[in-house]
Amino acid sequence: MCKGLAALPHSCLERAKEIKLKLGILLQKPDSAVDLVIPYNEKPEKPAKTQKPTLDEALQWRDSLDKLLQNNYGLASFKSFLKSEFSEENLEFWLACEDYKKIKSPAKMVEKAKKIYEEFIQTEAPKEVNIDHFTKDITMKNLVEPSLSSFDVAQKRIYALMEKDSLPRFVRSEFYQELIK
């Protein structure tokens, strides 16, 4: 049982954070009535307007997060799966970093860096990603003078987390199993 914040076991803290995130999602004002639907479908949503991969392509995703993320259908399927588990913040952060690296204007870079930090990195951020203090400190130092590589360390940590945790769960999921039938 969880007692006192200082004495909370790591798993208890993670569970409390997960509950807080889920409650935060429920308390957000929906943009439309569709947002009120809880994403527990009997069958996974099929990504719109993307070509279904060949069996060979889909089978490659088991061993390569890169190949999954480079395929529009794979990315959409992975994102739908993570949303169904209320754990899409890592993928959203990774994608935000990829977009950030494409920015040419220093002014836009500062603006986007601030947005990414506030949304994903800072303590109690709405979609806070699970990175260690060392990585968070490096990222904060990098943001004093934002550059295209400001989020590289954090992005690599999140990529590794998705590769070790999210990808294996996706491969075992109905979302993926439907594709390889």
Domain boundaries along the sequence of the chain? 55-178
Token pair, residue 157, equals 């940590």
Task: Please say if the pLDDT value at position 17 is more than 90.
Answer: no
126 closest CA partner among 38, 17, 35, 37: 17
Q: In the numeric block, which tokens belong to residue 118?
A: 């506030």
- The two structure tokens encoding residue 177: 């199993």
pLDDT band at 27 (very low <50, low <70, confident <90, very high): very low
Cα-Cα end-to-end distance for the chain: 42
Q: Which two tokens stand for residue 60?
A: 């490659």
Tally of CA atoms within 13 A in the half-sphere of 92 that contains its CB: 19
- The pLDDT, as a whole number, for residue 7 is 45
**Global pTM?**
0.71
Q: DSSP secondary-structure letter at 37?
A: S
Confidence of residue 4 (pLDDT cuts 50, 70, 90): very low
**Structure confidence at residue 77 as a pLDDT band (50, 70, 90):** very high
Count of alpha carbons within 13 angstroms of residue 28, beta-carbon side:
13
d(CA 32, CA 130): 30
Indicate the CATH number for domain 55-178: 1.10.167.10
Nearest Cα neighbor of 131 from 161, 165, 166, 86 is: 161
| CB neighbours of residue 31 within 10 Å | 7
**pLDDT per residue as tens digits for the range 116-130:** 999 999 999 999 999
Amino acid of residue 155:
Q
- The per-residue pLDDT for range 153-171, each reduced to its tens digit, is 999 999 999 999 999 999 9
Assign 175 a pLDDT band (cuts: 50, 70, 90). Answer: confident
Predicted local distance difference test score (pLDDT) of residue 92 = 98
d(CA 125, CA 117): 8
Q: Residue 111 is encoded by which pair of tokens? A: 């603006």
Residue-level pLDDT at 3? 46
